[in-house]
């Protein structure tokens, strides 16, 4: 075992000498291929970029050595973390009797340079032998840790597939590397970008950003990450306002032109959020252009630059806007921080990168700060790390300070530390180590270590770690926000993304947004969100839409729905509603004010009729009551009472029987009342209008009040009976209007409304006949007839019901209250016209004899007062008049029966008044004969 260890150490030293000694195989040791090394029993390759780029790459035409520039302080720190963890494992004796060595090569962030470094690592005796079977090949380097970028890892992994040498990365996150068919040797201590892009999409969903732009690099990492983000964004409803690709190599001939083009695209786009899947140096160039044009946006960083120290220290970085992104799980190490404060090469080894850092940091080079610095001076960004006491330091390589700890986020080196511990745990199992020794073969083929690494499970700082079937870790991400400092940015951890649950957990409730007013969350949407009650109507892309309200019968109860939901059975919704509700039933409830007022009016009308009835009975022998015909008036009161009662039937929840009863009650009651009025109008028509004797006798024979009332009312009864048989009123089953939440519970007056129309038309016809008869006798003195009252009451009825018809037809929901109101108005009109004046006169007791009034109006002498039993016969002899007539008026207070006019002998109580139109006036005298026609009517 010791021999093997000595041989391994010698071989390691040989390889180290071939890489760092001057003049071997044409290597330029000003730019060493492997600038750090320490021998050991098992060699670990470290392949990280300590420089950002290869210079003059576009001018390279011959296979010359690569020249690197722009020392990368952050990558340098990561490489030191790996070396420190190897030294910690050796110091702890984790592998008893076995020492880990390392060989670190600078890839200069370029894949071809990395492949050259692989040749150095796998070379045996400064050469890499070609074989058909490498199963038993035992190169000195058993595993390589790196590279920093996915493009480098993809290239290196393809080469290492030949030798089956494991490649363990802590930063390469391309989903392509999870393909174990194409990259069986690749493993990583971070999640795949397939999870990062899901996290990015979830973050945008959380902040309500659905309209974003994407700029990605034209390399394997950029293309794969963009494709993954494209699908995840679509699944989460995030649309791309634009997508631009940028050459991944900054010195590319078109890079500057493309950067200006992309900057112009960003400025012209309405998207306020831009995702940058780029390397840090490309982001730097883009930010310089954005600051030049004073453009501010919200920038979402990929893991390749989300914690870049160089970007955070850019001059003017606070002007570009908000920056946030996901980084890999990080963790501080006090031991590592102390190591950075006391930087030195591993005992027995060498680290040219530490020497270069100390040269930049502590060497006194005042000429580099002049207006024309020499060519060997570092860039202006690197000059920023120059110590203020550099010119006071005698031995720069022996000087140390805490600059790296204060200026860099050393916690991001955590995945690199995990990688070293994963290798150590796999070696412990492979070498069969116990607490005192390792019995396994040290010079083993690398593929055996790969097998152990895939199945390893270990614990570090109370956390369990293992690789999944794709060789990836699934330990999640930290969400970082770049907070504004005095001149630069500082990173703040504001949340984390749990891969297992697929959700974001925010650790900070309030963020310091700098790109918006009042510290509000930036907005980046193609269209505003559709509130509940509306849905999206897509225009050209899914994120650009119009919000349309849900139509009746549908609803939406959440934001940004695409389809309205239908209401469950028994419920309904109006336009733009967020939920469905049962329709409320509408009918004239007993507890509502309107029905209460109408019922009160109907009851009051019935009570008033009862009072009138009592007055009529008590004063039935008075002159006004005799003229009003008490028996006929009582019949009218009965009809009006039934009409009032029908109004009460209109209230409450309708039923089939109520629907039928209320219309029949009104029809029969009001018809009975109008038929009595018709009798009164017909009586006046016969008594006072001139007819021929034959016509008069015929009309006189028709004057049979009981028969007239019975026939007219019976005809209405037949109409109602036919209506009930063939088109009976029922509950209206018409569906409610889609624009209404009210379900009308009301009666339908039949399917065709014919019966209802005939019923109302019949009453209207009777009213019209009454009106015409009364209108014919309108000049008859009021003392002898009620024509004025009849005319007014019938006009009121006809006017009310003419107004009722259009309202009834056009307003379904108002039919019942309108009909009730019409019944009340017309019924009260008849009552106040025909009964209230009579009651007023009889109660006041100021009735003047009609005959005396007639005489006074005619200019005759004053007559003595006549009692109510006196019969008055008036003979009017008309001469030189168009009608040539004698009229006799007989006024009584008993019955309404027309007397015979054939022979009549005036009694002693008869007074005959003769009017001579030739200015000759005869005194009152008694006569037994009359000249011409004589008409006698008794009231």
Query: Looking at residue 405, what is its pLDDT?
Result: 92
- pTM for this one? 0.61
Ramachandran area for residue 794 (φ above 0: left; ψ -120 to 50: alpha; else beta): alpha
Of the two residues 791 and 453, the one the predictor is more confident about is 453
Give the count of alpha carbons within 13 A of 753, CB side only: 9
Q: Span 742-752, mean pLDDT?
A: 85
* Bigger pLDDT: 171 vs 620: 171
Q: What would the pLDDT profile of 382-409 be if each residue is shown by its tens digit?
A: 888 888 888 888 888 989 999 999 888 8
User: What is the average pLDDT across 662-691?
Assistant: 83
- Overall average pLDDT of the 649-655 stretch: 89
**Residues 6+ away with beta carbon under 8 Å from 667:** 716, 719, 720, 759, 763
What's the pLDDT score for residue 220? Answer: 83
**11 pLDDT more than 50:** no
Mean pLDDT across the stretch 660-678? 91
| CA dist., res. 480 & res. 46, Å (int) | 28
pLDDT at 155 exceeding the cut of 70: yes
Distance CA 363, CA 376 (A): 13
Q: Which of 17-21, 88-92, 141-145, 548-552 has the lowest mean pLDDT?
A: 17-21
Question: Residue 221: its pLDDT value, please?
Answer: 86
| pLDDT tens figures, 414-438 | 999 999 999 999 999 999 999 899 9
- Read off the pLDDT of each residue in 611-629 and give the average, rounded to a whole number: 80
Q: How far apart are CA 15 and CA 37, in angstroms?
A: 10
Overall average pLDDT of the 330-350 stretch: 91
pLDDT of residue 845: 67
What's the pLDDT score for residue 779?
A: 67
Residues 95-116 pLDDT 10s: 999 999 999 999 998 999 999 8
pLDDT value of residue 848: 47
- pLDDT computed for residue 553 by the predictor: 93
Instruction: Please give the structure tokens belonging to residue 280.
Output: 């840090």
For residue 56, what pLDDT is reported? 80
Is 70 exceeded by the pLDDT of residue 834?
Answer: yes
Cis geometry, peptide bond prior to residue 15 (ω within 30 degrees of 0)? no
CA-wise closest residue to 571 among 549, 554, 591, 559: 554
Nearest in space to 76 (alpha carbons), one of 106, 101, 115? 106
Residue given tokens 């003979």 in the structure block: 875
Give 689 or 503, the one with higher predicted confidence.
503
Least confident of 147-156, 519-528, 826-835, 921-930: 921-930
- What percent of the chain stands above pLDDT 70? 83
- Encoded tokens for 2: 């010791």
Q: What would the mean pLDDT of 797-811 be, rounded to a whole number?
A: 84
pLDDT tier for residue 785 given thresholds of 50, 70 and 90: low
Instruction: Report the alpha-carbon distance of residue 899 to residue 395 in Å, rounded.
Output: 155
DSSP bridge partners of 492: 481
Query: If you average pLDDT over every residue of the chain, what do you get?
Result: 81
pLDDT higher than 70, residue 89: yes
pLDDT at 688: 62
Residue with tokens 């679509």: 234
- Is the pLDDT at 891 greater than 80? The verdict is no
Distance separating alpha carbons of residues 100 and 37, to the nearest angstrom:
11
pLDDT score of 626: 72
738: pLDDT strictly greater than 60: yes
Range with top average pLDDT, 447-456, 677-686, 850-859, 876-885: 447-456
DSSP state letters, 23-65: TSTT--TTS-SS-EEE--SEEEEEEE-SEEEETTGGG--S-PP
User: What pLDDT does residue 642 have?
Assistant: 93
pLDDT confidence tier of residue 253, bands split at 50, 70 and 90: low
| Nearby residues of 846 by Cβ (< 8 Å), 6 or more positions away | none
Count how many residues are written for the chain: 939
208 phi/psi in degrees, rounded to 5: 60, 40
More confident residue, 852 or 639: 639
Residue 251 has pLDDT above 70, yes or no: no
On the question of pLDDT at 142 being above 50, the answer is: yes
Residue 186: pLDDT above 60? yes
Residue 570 has a pLDDT of 87
157 versus 897: which is more confidently predicted?
157
Which tokens is 480 given? 């970082």
Rg (CA), the chain: 57
pLDDT tens-place string over residues 571-601 = 999 999 999 999 888 888 888 888 899 999 9
Task: Name the residue with higher pLDDT: 129 or 603.
Answer: 603
Whether the per-residue pLDDT at 630 is higher than 50: the answer is yes
Least confident of 66-70, 255-259, 307-311, 811-815: 811-815
Residue 464's alpha-carbon distances to 422, 460, 473, in angstroms, are 11, 7, 11
> Is residue 695 predicted with pLDDT exceeding 80?
no
Residue 925 has pLDDT above 50, yes or no: no
Interval 449-473 mean pLDDT: 91
286-307 pLDDT, tens digit each = 999 999 999 999 999 998 899 8
**pLDDT band (50, 70, 90) for residue 929:** very low
Structural contact between residues 255 and 246, judged by C-beta atoms closer than 8 angstroms: yes
Say whether pLDDT at 122 is over 60: yes
* Residue 715 neighbours by CB under 8 Å, 6+ apart: 762
Non-local (6+) Cβ contacts of 145 within 8 A are 44, 45, 46, 47, 48, 82, 168, 169, 170, 416, 419, 420, 423
Query: What is the model's pLDDT at position 250?
Result: 64
User: Does pLDDT of 847 surpass 60?
Assistant: no
């Amino acid at each position: 075992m010791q021999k093997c260890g000595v041989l391994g150490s010698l071989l390691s030293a040989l390889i180290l000498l071939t890489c760092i000694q001057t003049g071997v195989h044409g290597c330029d040791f000003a730019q060493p291929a492997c600038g750090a090394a320490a021998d050991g029993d098992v060699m670990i390759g470290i392949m990280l970029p300590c420089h950002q780029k290869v210079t003059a790459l576009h001018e390279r035409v011959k296979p010359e050595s690569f020249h690197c520039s722009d020392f990368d302080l952050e990558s340098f720190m990561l490489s030191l973390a790996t070396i420190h963890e190897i030294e910690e494992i050796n110091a702890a004796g984790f592998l008893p009797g076995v020492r880990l060595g390392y060989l670190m090569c600078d890839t200069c962030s370029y894949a071809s340079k990395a492949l050259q470094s692989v040749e150095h690592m796998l070379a045996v005796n400064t050469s890499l032998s070609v074989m058909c079977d490498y199963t038993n090949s035992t190169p000195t380097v058993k595993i390589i840790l790196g590279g920093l970028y996915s493009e480098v890892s993809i290239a290196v992994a393809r080469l290492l597939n030949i030798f089956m040498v494991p490649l363990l990365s802590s930063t390469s996150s391309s989903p392509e590397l999870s393909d174990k068919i194409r990259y069986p040797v690749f493993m990583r201590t971070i999640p795949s970008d397939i999870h990062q892009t899901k996290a990015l999409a979830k973050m945008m969903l959380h902040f309500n950003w659905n309209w974003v732009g994407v700029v990605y690099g034209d390399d394997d990492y950029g293309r794969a990450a963009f494709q993954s983000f494209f699908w995840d964004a679509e699944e989460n409803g995030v649309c791309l306002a634009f997508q631009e690709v940028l050459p991944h190599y900054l010195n590319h001939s078109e890079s500057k032109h493309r950067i200006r083009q992309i900057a112009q695209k960003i400025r012209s786009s309405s998207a306020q959020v831009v995702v940058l899947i780029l390397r840090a140096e490309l982001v730097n160039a883009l930010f310089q252009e954005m600051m030049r044009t004073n453009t501010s946006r919200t920038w979402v960083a990929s893991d390749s630059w989300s914690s870049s120290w160089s970007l955070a220290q850019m001059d003017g970085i606070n002007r570009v806007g908000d920056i946030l992104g996901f980084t890999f799980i990080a963790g501080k190490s006090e031991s590592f921080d102390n190591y950075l404060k006391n930087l030195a090469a591993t005992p027995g080894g060498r680290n040219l990168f530490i020497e270069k850092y100390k040269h930049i940091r502590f060497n006194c080079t005042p000429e580099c700060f002049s207006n024309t610095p020499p060519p060997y001076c570092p860039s202006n960004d690197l000059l920023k790390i120059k110590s203020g006491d550099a010119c006071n330091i005698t031995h720069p390589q022996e000087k140390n300070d805490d600059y790296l700890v204060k200026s860099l986020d050393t916690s991001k080196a955590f995945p690199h530390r995990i990688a070293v511990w994963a290798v150590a745990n796999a070696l412990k199992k492979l070498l069969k180590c116990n607490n005192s020794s390792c019995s396994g073969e040290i010079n083993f083929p690398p593929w055996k270590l790969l097998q152990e690494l895939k199945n390893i499970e270990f614990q570090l700082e109370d956390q369990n770690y293992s690789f999944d079937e794709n060789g990836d870790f699934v330990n999640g991400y930290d969400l970082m926000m770049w907070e504004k400092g005095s001149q630069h940015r500082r990173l703040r951890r504001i949340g984390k993304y749990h891969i297992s649950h697929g959700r974001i957990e925010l650790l900070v409730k309030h963020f310091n947004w700098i790109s918006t007013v009042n510290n509000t969350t930036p907005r980046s949407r193609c269209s505003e969100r559709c509130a509940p009650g509306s849905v999206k109507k897509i225009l050209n892309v899914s994120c650009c839409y119009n919000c349309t309200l849900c139509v009746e019968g549908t609803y939406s109860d959440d934001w940004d729905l695409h389809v309205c939901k239908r209401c469950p059975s028994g419920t309904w919704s109006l336009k733009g509603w967020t939920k469905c509700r049962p329709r409320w039933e509408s009918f004239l409830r007993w507890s509502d004010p309107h029905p209460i007022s109408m019922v009160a009016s109907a009851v009051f009308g019935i009570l008033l009729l009862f009072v009138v009835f009592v007055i009529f009975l008590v004063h039935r022998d008075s002159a006004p009551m005799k003229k009003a015909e008490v028996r006929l008036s009582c019949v009218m009161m009965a009809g009006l009472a039934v009409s009032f009662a029908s109004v009460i039937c209109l209230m409450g929840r309708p039923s089939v029987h109520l629907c039928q009863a209320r219309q029949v009650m009104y029809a029969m009651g009001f018809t009975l009342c109008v038929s009595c009025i018709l009798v009164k109008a017909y009586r006046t028509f016969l008594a006072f209008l001139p007819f021929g004797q034959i016509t008069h006798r015929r009309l006189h024979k028709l004057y049979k009040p009981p028969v007239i009332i019975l026939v007219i009312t019976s005809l209405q009864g037949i109409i109602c009976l036919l209506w009930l048989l063939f088109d009976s009123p029922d509950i209206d089953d018409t569906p409610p209007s889609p624009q209404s939440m009210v379900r009308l519970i009301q009666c339908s007056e039949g399917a065709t409304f014919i019966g209802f129309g005939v019923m109302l038309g019949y009453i209207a016809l009777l009213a019209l006949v009454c009106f015409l008869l009364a209108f014919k006798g309108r000049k008859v003195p009021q003392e002898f007839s009620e024509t004025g009252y009849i005319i007014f009451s019938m006009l009121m009825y006809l006017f009310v019901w003419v107004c009722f018809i259009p309202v009834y037809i056009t307003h379904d929901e108002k039919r019942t209250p309108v009909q009730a109101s019409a019944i009340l108005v017309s019924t009260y009109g008849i009552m106040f016209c025909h009964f209230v004046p009579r009651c007023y006169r009889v109660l006041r007791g100021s009735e003047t004899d009609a005959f005396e009034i007639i005489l006074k109006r005619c200019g005759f002498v004053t007559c003595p007062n006549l009692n109510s039993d006196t019969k008055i016969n008036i003979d009017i002899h008309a001469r030189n008049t168009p009608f040539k007539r004698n009229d006799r008026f007989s006024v009584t207070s008993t019955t309404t029966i027309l007397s015979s006019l054939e022979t009549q002998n005036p009694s002693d109580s008869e007074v005959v008044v003769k009017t001579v139109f030739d200015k000759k006036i005869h005194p009152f005298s008694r006569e037994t004969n009359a000249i011409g026609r004589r008409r006698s009517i008794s009231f």
